[in-house]
Amino acid sequence: MEAYELWQKAVKAREFSYSPYSGFKVGAALLCKNGEVVQGCNVENSAYGPSNCAERTAFFAAVAKGQREFEAIAIAGGKEELVMCYPCGVCRQVMAEFCDPDNFHVICGMNKEKLEILTLRELLPKSFEMQD
């Protein structure tokens, strides 16, 4: 799947965002190794702590469906206009739990001409990992 095609699915997932407090709507589209795309959106809560980012929503939904191997995630976010929206540290660490940092790609963008594709290692160079 092309990066832009996956990113468009993130834009679509953004429509389901529940963000009455910040107004910052985020959508994510997670590409599984088997070709399935699992979408997620941010879900806010007035207590803030129980809120969940779009990226983690997508990962947790995929894991709940039995998926454990992933190729890429695309992220689209902003209030009215889309802005470059990178995953937070918690989401990066969740990605590190399931993904090869050198081969998993994170796609962030504002439009077709402004897409940035990074590896997880570029975003999280020294992640916490289980030691043998």
Residues assigned a catalytic role: 55
**How open is the CA angle 115-40-51, to the nearest 5 degrees?**
110
**Reading across the β-sheet that carries 105-111, which strands appear in turn?**
37-41, 25-32, 70-78, 105-111, 114-119
**Cα–Cα nearest to 82, from 57, 43, 116:** 116
Tally the C-alpha atoms within 13 A of residue 9's C-alpha that lie toward its C-beta. Answer: 20
Tally the C-alpha atoms within 13 A of residue 82's C-alpha that lie toward its C-beta. Answer: 22
User: How many Cβ atoms from other residues are within 10 Å of residue 109's Cβ?
Assistant: 24
